[in-house]
Structure 1
């Protein structure tokens, strides 16, 4: 007899990636796309001079976090990202805690990633083209010092 899926538990299906929210300090900002949630351990290679093998030993080194890119549509009068970017001054910017959450079917937080000590490092305004029919999108790149996962 074929399984129609009615008896499957909620844990059987993976999460969808189109339902998410971004909280910057205490404010929620709506974005169309979030990319770059990456973390990696740099690899240290070492070989002792008296080693009888012809290869190196690999050890985990410093952790490295990639910049996170946020994209959102441009709305008339909305200067949210520009205001945050223009607040940058030489090392006097109040760094933020930014939480990116994946939402479940009930729109409740299923998993959250938090960027530690984040600040905007780049902002890009949409390209403009007279024969295009696309939405105007602005992009902000965030640098940060750590990425944590809470479920």
Structure 2
């Protein structure tokens, strides 16, 4: 039976992260960040003539979904509602949003940068008399590009 040795290299936990937005960058505390994904849509390309006709799949349009941020509601903290309220016809205040997964020392292990992000949806908490949970608001963002880098 072979004995495995551990090299000390472990996957990063997902609960230690930081989110910064705006210029100058301001840090905001969030309970959850989701939707940091991209998808390459495949298109079918046909080529050749009737005698030698074939098809192949090629990369098509790059598709990025909306990002969802969830955070607790604090007294006198309407920053995201104010940002959402600033959206008017043909006027959108776009921000750079940086999310960093942190290691045990608090240093960035991985960074996701959203370019020209703006709020598309705000959802406030549901209210329930017999609940004992924290009030959560949800901010959904659209963006024009996602950059991923180490550290």
Is the TM value for this pair above 0.5?
Answer: yes
Which digits, 9 at most, give the CA deviation of each residue in 1:96-151, with x for residues without a partner? 11100000000111110000111000000001111211111000000001100121
Question: Taking structure 1 as the reference length, what is the TM-score of the superposition?
Answer: 0.88
Q: Report the Cα distance in structure 2 between the residues aligned to 1:56 and 1:34, rounded to whole angstroms.
A: 39
Runs ≥4 in structure 1, deviation > 2 angstroms?
A: 1-5, 46-53
**Corresponding position of 1:121:** 120
**Corresponding position of 2:72:** 73
- Aligned residue pairs, count: 146
How many angstroms does 1:52 deviate by?
4.6
How many angstroms does 1:47 deviate by?
2.6
How many angstroms does 1:87 deviate by?
1.1
Aligned CA distance change for structure 1 residues 51 and 107 (closer, same or farther; 3 Å):
farther
Q: Structure 1, unaligned stretches of length 5 or more?
A: none
Q: Structure 2, unaligned stretches of length 5 or more?
A: none
Q: Report the Cα distance in structure 2 between the residues aligned to 1:51 and 1:36, rounded to whole angstroms.
A: 46
How many angstroms does 1:3 deviate by?
6.5
Aligned CA distance change for structure 1 residues 79 and 52 (closer, same or farther; 3 Å):
same
Q: Which moved more, 1:34-43 or 1:44-53?
A: 44-53
* Pair 1:88 & 2:93 matched: no
How many angstroms does 1:50 deviate by?
2.5
